[in-house]
């Protein structure tokens, strides 16, 4: 006679935790999806912007101003930075801002597809779907706004590598819902941290401050929507899917930290690209900026059970988790 394999104590407690969470969800103790979406729709109606008319795209850029706060530039406080003349540092800010805006557009296009896939099977009249469509409209405006900002600064666009471009093609086509929302938060929260420091900074170009202000206001809703949905999904999804989410978000964090600044920016401002990449990797200041930017997200993911096992190790190797 065969006997069923005994569960370990940790497996038993994980199972109980999971069952209790599903029960809580069923009893409606988790925040109601429709209520959250209704609130986000009301906020969207009040605080949404059309960047084409809201921002001054006609005035020329200002001489001597930064395109990104210097402390948030990848090379800040490295030996290379200390040797760079002021003009070259300003140039680096112009190219890094274009690189981050290019990354932002890449992420938003991925996100739009994930949201379209998310609502495909849901009730079209629900507030949850109406809000997803509102968010897609926000991201359309953001991507056009970032593209205009790159053009205005006169730096080139900086696409991610061919490999990462194609890796994301697979991810955005096959990822399941919780994995999609975990990646959404990864893209939104770290850039959001930098943008919150950028828009009030008077050393920064007016157009960049305007773009980041609009983005921060509208992204706050996106972060809320993704968090609430991911929290719900992590308690109700099958165990294999929760495990897959831990792995895929850890891998996405690793790719994200590599793709964050396109190394071509260093070549374009006249620096030795390999040496610059090496110094950024070794920079304690940079590590601190990235980990501080990711902290709100990593704490949240830890709280809802995404930061476990191999997933946690991948997050560590990305350098985003202390
Ligand atoms: Fe956006
Ligand atoms: Fe967003």
* Ligand closest to the CA atom of residue 104: 1
Distance 268 CA to ligand 1 centre (A): 27
Measured distance CA(102)–CA(93) in Å, rounded: 14
**Threshold 0.85, pTM exceeds:** yes
pLDDT surpasses 60 at 272: yes
Residue 24: predicted pLDDT: 56
Q: Is residue 65 within 8 Å of residue 203, measured between CB atoms?
A: yes
Averaged confidence pLDDT in the chain: 90
CA atoms within 13 A on the CB side of 148: 19
- The more confident residue out of 13 and 262 is 262
Among 16-20, 113-117, 236-240, 293-297, the minimum mean pLDDT is found in 16-20
Mean pLDDT over 196-216 rounds to: 98
Residue 3: predicted pLDDT: 44
CATH H-level, domain 32-318: superfamily:
Ribonucleotide Reductase, subunit A (1.10.620.20)
pLDDT surpasses 80 at 191: yes
Distance 22 CA to ligand 2 centre (A): 28
Residues lying with their CB under 5 A of ligand 2, a single-atom ion: 219, 222
CA atoms within 13 A on the CB side of 120: 9
Q: Is residue 219 within 8 Å of residue 280, measured between CB atoms?
A: no
Mean pLDDT over 117-137 rounds to: 94
**In percent, how much of the chain has pLDDT > 70?**
90
């Amino acid at each position: 006679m065969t006997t069923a394999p005994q569960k370990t104590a940790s497996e038993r407690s994980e199972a109980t935790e999971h069952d209790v969470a599903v029960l809580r969800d069923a009893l409606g103790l988790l925040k109601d999806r429709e209520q959250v979406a209704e609130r986000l729709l009301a906020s969207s109606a009040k605080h949404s912007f059309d960047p084409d008319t809201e921002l001054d795209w006609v005035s020329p850029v200002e001489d001597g101003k930064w395109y990104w706060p210097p402390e948030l530039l990848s090379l800040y406080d490295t030996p290379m930075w200390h040797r760079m003349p002021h003009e070259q540092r300003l140039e680096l800010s112009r190219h890094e801002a274009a690189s981050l805006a290019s990354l932002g557009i890449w992420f938003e296009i991925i996100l739009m597809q994930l949201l379209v896939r998310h609502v495909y099977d849901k009730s079209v009249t629900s507030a949850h779907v109406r809000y997803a469509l509102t968010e897609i409209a926000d991201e359309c405006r953001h991507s056009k706004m970032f593209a205009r900002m790159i053009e205005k600064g006169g730096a080139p666009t900086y696409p991610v590598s061919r490999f990462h471009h194609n890796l994301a093609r697979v991810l955005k086509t096959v990822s399941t819902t919780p994995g999609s929302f975990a990646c959404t938060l990864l893209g939104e929260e770290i850039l959001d941290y930098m943008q919150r420091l950028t828009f009030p900074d008077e050393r920064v170009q007016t157009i960049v401050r305007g773009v980041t202000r609009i983005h921060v206001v509208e992204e706050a809703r996106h972060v809320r929507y993704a968090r609430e949905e991911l929290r719900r999904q992590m308690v109700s999804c099958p165990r294999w899917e929760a495990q897959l989410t831990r792995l895929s978000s850890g891998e996405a964090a690793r790719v994200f930290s590599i793709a964050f600044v396109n190394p071509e920016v260093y070549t374009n401002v006249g620096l030795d690209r390999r040496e610059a990449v090496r110094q950024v990797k070794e920079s304690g200041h940079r590590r601190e900026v990235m980990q501080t930017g990711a902290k709100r997200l990593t704490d949240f993911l830890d709280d809802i059970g995404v930061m476990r096992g191999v997933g946690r190790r991948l997050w560590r190797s990305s350098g985003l988790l202390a």
